[in-house]
Structure 1
Amino acid sequence: MTAASLWPRYAEPADLAAIEAVPLTERSLPESTYALLQRAAAWWPDHPATTVLPEAARWREPVRRTFGELLADVHRYANLLRDLGVRRGDAVALMSPNCADLVPATLAAQLAGVAAPLNGGLSRDHLGELLRLSGARVLITAGPELAPETWVTARTLAGELDVVLVLRPTGAAGAPAALPAIDGVRVGYLADLAAAHDAADFAGERPVASDLAALFHTGGTTGAPKLAAHTHANEVADAWMIAANSLLDAGSVVFAALPLFHVNALVVTLLAPLFKGQHAVWAGPLGYREPALYGEFWKIVEHHRIAAMSAVPTVYAVLAQCPVDADIASLRFAMVGASPLPAAVREGFQTHTGVTLVEGYGLTEATCASARSFPDAPRPGTVGQRLPYQRMKVVHPETREELPRGETGVLEISGPTVFPGYVVGRDENAYVLDGLGKLSDGWLNTGDLARLEADGFVHLAGRVKDLIIRGGHNIDPAMIEDALLTHSQVTAAGAVGRPDEHAGEVPVAYVTLTSGATATEADLVAWAADRVPERAAAPKAITVLDALPVTDVGKPYKLALRADATRRAIAEALAPFDGVTVDAVIEDGTVTATITLPSDVDESKVRATLGRYTVPTRLTSQGRP
């Protein structure tokens, strides 16, 4: 293997063709995430691999591991898991905010079995369903010192488990809290139970490229969650595509603060740095959700000479308001993804800091990243160029016929990062996987509307389900949101369709405002009417909220806005009927209006009114279903 074969030049869009002239199979990629870590430890045993901060206020008291130390801890933890009965096809659930020991625990779970990260903020029912789907009998979780609420949740799930392994806070000192006995479940601290295990090697079966590495849950905060399976080949290939970036060399420092139950945290800030011996500095357990982090952020960048970071747009909107009180010349660029980047956020952050925001695009079903931008070759209006060896096309949303370049349709992806399917069950040998309608002949339907340029740059046009369809005319909500975000007092905006008896849907918007803002909802309606490019897209109403709803990983949650818009529209339509109450619920990704009628209201007249709207409805009368 030569450096040229592993690391081709990849600094500008024109490099893509030369990279793909060499087959990916000739890039000498490691067979698994474990082999990737082994290689890093062999090449840079004494170089810093991870630095984890206990919390923002104590960022000068981190816990550090070299690549050699990281591998040793992974061996200890994996050998413990093996002794507990975990084998190649067995899932190990991990439910904890980020901490120093969660990083090696995650890699150890992929070595001994299959990692199944969980968001502890999900409902008890969702977590129980995810455990059932994964079949995990071992849970690695935050203990009472690290995250008391997560620990309480773990105890409620313990009846479905055989073993609960507990994590302490980063840099915890002194004797740990005594753990309660749980009937029929082995409970103990991970580090203590693993201390006596072999640190030099793993005693079990090593993973190969086709083995499953992880099961990541997808979906928002409602509806049945799904488990997307990743192979080791998926994760290694995507991590290499990210690490191939010529703008970050060996030894560069990256900042990590997204939760490890999110693929971006795993692939971008844990696996990709292993390729070049890069140092990852991890924020405390709250990550970007810790308010105190923002007051210390630029000093952390200066101290660690951070070269790159990855976050969602809302983080950069906040950082654009934080005085730059340190030397941040080391920060070459900042990566942004997970949701569309408003132009106002880009301009505000770059003007304030002098740091270029580099957009990317990806989804869990394609492992993580599928497109990247170039700080020295900006392409406004795009989320970047497709990554090497990933193929993209745009198809008609109904016929799946491929559309010509420049036309908007549904984006599909194929290549080495496309997942093998969702977990739908398990037989006596392995997981049963199914694409559930998203996979066809190796192509992944992303559900995103997009158009492609000839050189592989991607223009997103929203989610298929987010389109506002007014009288058969498709309206991209982004054009409304971008117009509102040009208002100096608007900090965030979300546009959705509100049911309408004449047009099917009409656009409405929700915004948040700066502290002390004076703009009224009527002012904002007028502002948007003057600036939205299409007259039909001008929002009919604007509602000011304290915060826009987001999913647990910070993505805008449009379904909640659509539910509110539906409730308002149906309540307005039924206002002539005294005593009628209206709500809107989200069920499996669909908004349903639920109406409760007093006994003296003529139900047939209510149904006639509702019949003018294309909204699923459910009627009940007071006192009876």
Structure 2
Amino acid sequence: MNEDLLWPAYRTPTDLASVEATALEERGLPASTYELLVRAARLWPEKTAVTVLPDAARWRQPIHCSFSELLAQVHRTANLLHGLGVRRHDAVALMAPNCHGLLVATLAAQLAGVAAPINSALSPEHIGELLDRSGARILIASGPELDESTWENTQKLAASGAVDGLLVLRPTDAPTPAPTLPDLPGVKVAYASGTADADDGAVFVGVPPASDDLAALFHTGGTTGTPKLAAHTHGNEVANAWMIAANELLSEDSVVFAGLPLFHVNALLVTLLAPLFKGQTVVWTGPQGYREPALYGAFWEIVEHYKVSAMSAVPTVYAVLSGCPVNADLSSLQFAMVGASPLPTAVRENFQAHTGVPLVEGYGLTEATCATARSFPDHPRPGEVGQRMPYQQVKVVRIGPDGCWQDLPPGQVGVLAISGPSVFPGYVVGRTDGGHALDGLGKLVDGWLDTGDLARVDADGFIHLVGRGKDLIIRGGHNIDPAVIEDALLSHPDVAAASAVGRPDRHAGEVPVAYVALHPCASATEDQLLAWSADEITERAAVPKAVVVRDTLPVTDVGKPYKLALRAEAARDVVLGELHGLAGIRSVDTVVEDGSVTILVGVTDPGVEAAVGALLGQYTLTWRVVRRKE
């Protein structure tokens, strides 16, 4: 590994060309996430790698773990998995809220086999499908002390024969002795930590992974109800982690704050793997992460106490923090990173005005490992999600009816496509003797990834998103499959057609709403259908905020559902509600162009423009004010 070539001069957008003047292969990146951890333990053995808070109330009583200790713990857990029969191409499922044990288990699963994180809030049916698709026969999950509801579901899964082995995680500061675990016929059940502690942790007894071996399988939303598992190689994760770390804004002394769940690629890449490159300490929240209400009352004190330099969260977190009184010294906080869902202008402006801390936007997706574009706190460009990261290429294309791609020049709107070392090898579609069978499922074309997002890209590689070609609803960073909502409503005997879209929301970015058409002579009301959907949909975040009954639903010329018209209607309804009663408003119209929605606000009094901007700036909307005559 060439340490001299590892860190180029990279602080401003103009540095990109000089960074890429050296080939990525010459920089000598570690071959795997395991080698990345080994390097960190060699360079900073006694330095604190992770500081884990038990919960918000006990933020002054964390546990600390050095890089050498973290490596030994990963060795122990990986050896335990190896002893249970896990080999290079075997998936290990992980289903637990964040805790110290989950950090160790995630790295260990990538060392012994392939990590397959699962969101425990998914329905039992989806969890079962994900286990089946991944082929995982070992599940590492939270025990009764850590998350009672997950523990109950885990026992049912194990008893049903879904897995052969169950390793149980305890809270970060769990007392001794541990509760007795139940006997489950045919399933080996044990605590992960207690069983692994018998190993001295000096070495991994199996064969370490290579760069092209699979490291993880992440479930991601799609346009159907079937879960998709996106595969990441070790090379994908190491390259993307280096791209995130390869900037001069943060040094070895920087402290990173983490609160996103580890089943999300942002938490793994941005706040676990990237800090390993520079030996940065990461402060992790308790099991509830940013969802713990008590965290916000102590947040600024935590920043001051641990001298946090950077943090990563979704827009909803920053919207809440903008209302939390600053009662501590924030001088250590250089910038805050935001991603996973569109950033409303008002959230950016309110947070920065409230704290004086730059909010740095980024863009990425699971199929490109995590991050594709980053912004620069010293060179803000509002309205753009950032410049492409080194060694990733981006372009926009027009996809014809025959599926053929036509490259478009810089500045034109088209479907955003990405290539480079972070692009995933495909989705899991089955198993072979050699491991997981992968397929791009139409998203990969000659090494380029179709993101499904509509954008324009300038000559400097800065990306401006203008809409989504895909139908996913992103609520506070949570991907919601509209088919889940539509299927639930279509199961009602009165519903003939259903279409779910995202409605702009000042707090969550967008929330799901549904439009339905009824069968002739049917009489179901909107309130009845809303109650029905709440009963039928097990994923709470996917329950629509409203159900609107219409005579017909819009379709394209060939009879396909036309959701863009419904998104436009939902956006217009929000704007009408915000501007209601505001003098000088003449009209509110929508324009659908290049797959995106623009709101046109007609005003008769120019003096009202500032008020319109203040109200609509709270949303991720594209809007323009147009002068109208009386």
TM over 0.5: yes
- 1:450 equivalenced with 2:455 (yes/no): yes
> Normalised by the size of structure 1, how large is the TM-score?
0.79
Q: Is the 8 A contact 1:102 1:167 kept in 2?
A: yes
How many Å apart are 1:531 and its aligned residue? 8.8
Partners in 1 of 2:147 and 2:418 — Cα distance?
A: 38
- Within the candidate set 438, 444, 460, 2:443 is matched to 438
467 and 147 in structure 1: CA distance in 2 versus 1, 3 angstrom threshold: closer
Q: Which residue of 2 aligns with 1:6?
A: 6
Deviations 1:269-302 (A, max 9, x none): 0000000000000000000000100001000000
Q: Which residue of 1 aligns with 2:479?
A: none
501 and 161 in structure 1: CA distance in 2 versus 1, 3 angstrom threshold: closer
501 and 35 in structure 1: CA distance in 2 versus 1, 3 angstrom threshold: closer
Q: Is the 8 A contact 2:223 2:470 kept in 1?
A: no
Q: Which residue of 2 aligns with 1:548?
A: none
Q: Is the 8 A contact 2:120 2:150 kept in 1?
A: yes
How many Å apart are 1:226 and its aligned residue? 0.6
How many Å apart are 1:491 and its aligned residue? 8.1
Q: Which residue of 2 aligns with 1:67?
A: 67
Q: Which residue of 2 aligns with 1:270?
A: 272
Q: Which residue of 2 aligns with 1:86?
A: 86
Secondary structure in 2 aligned to 1:81? helix
Give the root-mean-square deviation of aligned CA atoms. Answer: 2.9
529 and 87 in structure 1: CA distance in 2 versus 1, 3 angstrom threshold: farther
Displaced runs of 4 or more, over 2 A: 1-4, 465-468, 490-513, 519-540
- Within the candidate set 500, 516, 521, 2:577 is matched to 521
Aligned positions of 1:204-603 closer than 5 A: 204-219=206-221, 223-398=225-400, 399-465=404-470, 505=565, 507-509=568-570, 521=577, 523-524=579-580, 537-538=598-599
Partners in 1 of 2:227 and 2:508 — Cα distance?
A: 30
Deviations 1:478-524 (A, max 9, x none): 9x95xx96xxxx886569897666996352337999xxxxx993854
Structure 2 counterpart of 1:187, one-letter code: V
Q: Is the 8 A contact 1:256 1:309 kept in 2?
A: yes
Deviations 1:160-218 (A, max 9, x none): 11110000011111211111110100101101110111311001001000100000000
408 and 512 in structure 1: CA distance in 2 versus 1, 3 angstrom threshold: closer
Deviations 1:118-145 (A, max 9, x none): 1111111111111111111110000000
Q: Is the 8 A contact 1:213 1:230 kept in 2?
A: yes
437 and 535 in structure 1: CA distance in 2 versus 1, 3 angstrom threshold: closer
Structure 2 counterpart of 1:343, one-letter code: T
Q: Is the 8 A contact 2:141 2:154 kept in 1?
A: yes
Aligned positions of 1:610-625 closer than 5 A: none
Aligned residues: 523
524 and 156 in structure 1: CA distance in 2 versus 1, 3 angstrom threshold: farther
Deviations 1:577-614 (A, max 9, x none): xxxxxxxxxxxxxxxxxxxxxxxxxxxxxxxxxxxxxx
Q: Is the 8 A contact 2:2 2:27 kept in 1?
A: no
Q: Is the 8 A contact 2:342 2:620 kept in 1?
A: no
Partners in 1 of 2:405 and 2:182 — Cα distance?
A: 55
Q: Is the 8 A contact 2:223 2:472 kept in 1?
A: no
163 and 14 in structure 1: CA distance in 2 versus 1, 3 angstrom threshold: same
Consecutive unaligned residues in structure 2, runs of 5 or more: 474-500, 516-551, 557-561, 593-597, 602-618, 622-630
Partners in 1 of 2:420 and 2:262 — Cα distance?
A: 24
290 and 403 in structure 1: CA distance in 2 versus 1, 3 angstrom threshold: same
526 and 59 in structure 1: CA distance in 2 versus 1, 3 angstrom threshold: same
495 and 57 in structure 1: CA distance in 2 versus 1, 3 angstrom threshold: closer
Q: Is the 8 A contact 1:220 1:557 kept in 2?
A: no
Aligned positions of 1:46-195 closer than 5 A: 46-158=46-158, 159-195=161-197
Q: Is the 8 A contact 2:572 2:599 kept in 1?
A: no
Q: Which residue of 1 aligns with 2:29?
A: 29
How many Å apart are 1:538 and its aligned residue? 4.4
How many Å apart are 1:242 and its aligned residue? 0.3
Secondary structure in 1 aligned to 2:243? helix
508 and 495 in structure 1: CA distance in 2 versus 1, 3 angstrom threshold: farther
Structure 2 counterpart of 1:276, one-letter code: K
Partners in 1 of 2:406 and 2:169 — Cα distance?
A: 50
Partners in 2 of 1:219 and 1:263 — Cα distance?
A: 13
Structure 2 counterpart of 1:197, one-letter code: D
189 and 343 in structure 1: CA distance in 2 versus 1, 3 angstrom threshold: same
Q: Is the 8 A contact 1:528 1:539 kept in 2?
A: no
Q: Is the 8 A contact 1:409 1:449 kept in 2?
A: yes
300 and 85 in structure 1: CA distance in 2 versus 1, 3 angstrom threshold: same
> Normalised by the size of structure 2, how large is the TM-score?
0.78
Structure 2 counterpart of 1:509, one-letter code: A
- Percent identity, aligned pairs only, is 62
- 1:39 equivalenced with 2:39 (yes/no): yes
